[in-house]
Amino acid sequence: MTAAGRVKPIRKVDAPANQNGDAEIELLCFVLAGDEGVVTKFVRDSGLAPEHFFGGSARLAYGVLAAAIRDGRPATIPAVAAVSVPAGEWLRDAQLRWYGSPAGGMTGGLRARENARVVMALAQKREALDALARLTAGIESDRPIADVAEGLRMLAGDLVRGESGPTIETFGQRELVEPLGDVPWVVPSLSIAPGAPTLLAGYAFSRKSLFGEGLLLSVASGVPFLGAYAVRKGTCLELQAEQGRRLTIDRYQRLARGHGVDLRDLAPDALRVSTLPPYLDAADAENVFCRATEGVTIAVLDSLRAMVPSLDENSSEVRRPLDMLTRVSERTGCTFVVIHHAGKPSADKATGAKFAPRGSSAIFDAVQTAFVLSADDGKVPSKVQHTKDRILGASLDDFSFSSDDVEIDGNPRAGLRLSIVDSAPEQVPAGDAHEKMMAKIVAYLRENGSVAGRNVLRARIGGKREAIYAAVDELEATRRIVNIGSRQKPDLRIAPP
């Protein structure tokens, strides 16, 4: 109160300046020139709307471009100019300024989402300041102070709830009716693909880390994994939290020599390693992993225990970082392989390979594909058991692999080769034999794409006629494989997910 008893006037709060001008221009340039599929998904799912932009030209430009993308029309500057010549000229000038600036350049989907969050957050602040200005104006009027206070309370609640914040990403009828195409397998015969993580659990000396690093070398170079499994060549990332830089480099050099790979022939970013990786349970982990894996084909994390120091692996809470990796994979397309330790057998613990991963059963529940590795003493070949496959619902036959030193130029340990080891046929009950035959058929089709009927399949994979026919019948009945040909000219293939 002043001496005269009057309320001192409150200066009107102006809306904030356009602090996000670069973010808005970068977003518009992304919509104009980005990858068509990525841009379409962004416009559909980001929650960004014209009203989030600061200036009238930017609002109009985004509205026209977004509408064109939703309608399947070209998103171009002339399309904007057809609605508003000044807005089209502004957008053309903004694009020229952006690509001519030091920060200018092509923007990916992840960067666009970050810019969208900036733009929407500042729009929310502008909206809040406008509301606050209206409320404070009420204090100078005859409006009861209780009404003003209630308005402030409601405004605070809206801000806490973030009603103008990001929305839930959804897909609908348009996406549900579109053909999915082939699963983007990284290793088709081992059911390793994007989505929820692949779990690689094993006991001490079972060659878990070697398995993961050999897999990355194969994907980076294109050589078959374990000398047997075709891979999709791509970029690789290892987040190694259990062994240091020197041992990791030595391991890759030996593996490369043993498999006839010259590391100098790889693309510069084909294989990257961090021996100081971020923690999966950090507050900003999801954003960190999204940025780190954009454009990455496959990432191996070694190990779960080392990368979640604040979580108890015996608690179901340990599932949270695995679910986070699933969300990251959905955004970036990266396939995650997580290495985890197996628990020690005990009298009160269920037995069997699927119970081997140490800690809460939520770990096994969270993954898409699971393998368990074991070896008696680290000297004999490692046995690999495939214990879970969400995509196809059939497990592979057990197999074994060895790690053998390769002598080069008189050095007996210069190279290290991983390879499949033939094992003696195992006597199994009839029911198990049927399951294994189905898994064998699924693995063959994954690797080869199709086969011209049951008789050709029998010639390719071997086995009794009755066993193959029965397995094919069940696989077709359960829609795991389909015949896209005819009875006279069959064409058996994996059913789309």
Q: Mind spelling out the 3-state secondary structure of 193-239?
A: CCCCCEEEEECCCCCHHHHHHHHHHHHHHCCCECCCECCCCCCEEEE
Q: Residue range 41-55: average pLDDT?
A: 85
% of the chain with per-residue pLDDT over 70: 81
Q: How confident is the model at residue 160 (pLDDT cuts 50, 70, 90)?
A: low
Classify 21-161 by CATH class: mainly alpha
CA–CA distances in Å: residue 333 to residues 193, 408, 455: 9, 38, 37
Count of CB atoms within 10 A of residue 278's CB?
A: 15
Whether the per-residue pLDDT at 108 is higher than 80: the answer is no
Q: Is 430-494 the same fold as 21-161?
A: no
pLDDT at 45: 81
pLDDT confidence tier of residue 466, bands split at 50, 70 and 90: confident
Most confident residue range from 29-38, 247-256, 415-424: 247-256
Q: How much is the pLDDT for 141?
A: 61
Instruction: Report d(CA 373, CA 367) in Å as an integer.
Output: 16
Choice among 17-26, 105-114, 172-181, 405-414 with the minimum mean pLDDT:
17-26
What pLDDT does residue 135 have? 67
CA-based nearest residue to 119, from 20, 214, 17, 2 = 20
143 or 127, greater pLDDT? 127
Sheet holding 335-341, edge to edge: 271-274, 236-240, 298-302, 335-341, 198-202, 369-374, 382-389, 399-408, 411-421
User: Residue 114 has what pLDDT?
Assistant: 83
Rounded-to-integer distance, Cα 171 and Cα 152, Å? 36
What is the mean predicted confidence (pLDDT) over 469-479?
Answer: 86
The pLDDT of residue 24: 87
Tell me the C-alpha distance between 401 and 178, whole Å: 40
* Mean of pLDDT values over 446-461: 84
- Of 463, 466, 475, the C-alpha closest to 435 is 475
245-252: long-range contacts at Cβ-Cβ below 8 A with a sequence spacing of 24 or more? 245/275, 248/213, 248/273, 248/275, 249/273, 251/209, 251/210, 251/213, 251/416, 252/213, 252/217
Residue 404 pLDDT exceeds 90: yes
Whether residue 173 is predicted with pLDDT greater than 90 in this model: the reply is no
* Residue 223 pLDDT greater than 70, yes or no: yes
- CATH fold group of domain 430-494: Arc Repressor Mutant, subunit A (1.10.10)
- Nearest one of 314, 372, 317, 310 to 340, comparing CA atoms: 372
- Beta pairing, strands 298-302 & 236-240: parallel
Residues above pLDDT 90, as percent of the chain: 41
The confidence score (pLDDT) of residue 269 equals: 92
- Residue 164's pLDDT is 47
Q: Dump pLDDT digits (tens) for 239-297.
A: 999 999 999 999 999 999 999 999 999 999 999 999 999 999 998 899 899 889 988 99
The whole-number pLDDT of residue 16 equals: 38
Mean pLDDT of 192-205: 94
Give domain limits for the chain: 21-161, 188-420, 430-494
Q: Is 241 helix (H, G, I), strand (E, B) or coil?
A: coil
Q: What is the mean pLDDT of the chain?
A: 83
Dmax over CA atoms of the chain, in Å, equals 105
- Where does the pLDDT of residue 98 fall: very low under 50, low under 70, confident under 90, or very high at 90 and above? confident
More confident residue, 348 or 421: 421
What is the model's pTM?
A: 0.62
Average pLDDT over residues 126-141: 69
Task: Write the secondary structure of 258-316 as one string of H (helix), E (strand) and C (coil).
Answer: HCCCCHHHCCCCCEEEECCCCCCCCCCHHHHHHHHHCCCCEEEEECHHHHCCCCCCCCH
Residue 7 scores a pLDDT above 90: no
**CATH number assigned to the domain covering 188-420:** 3.40.50.300
* Strand segments (E) across 115-213: 198-202
Question: Which runs of E-coded beta strand occur in 345-470?
Answer: 369-374, 382-389, 399-408, 411-421
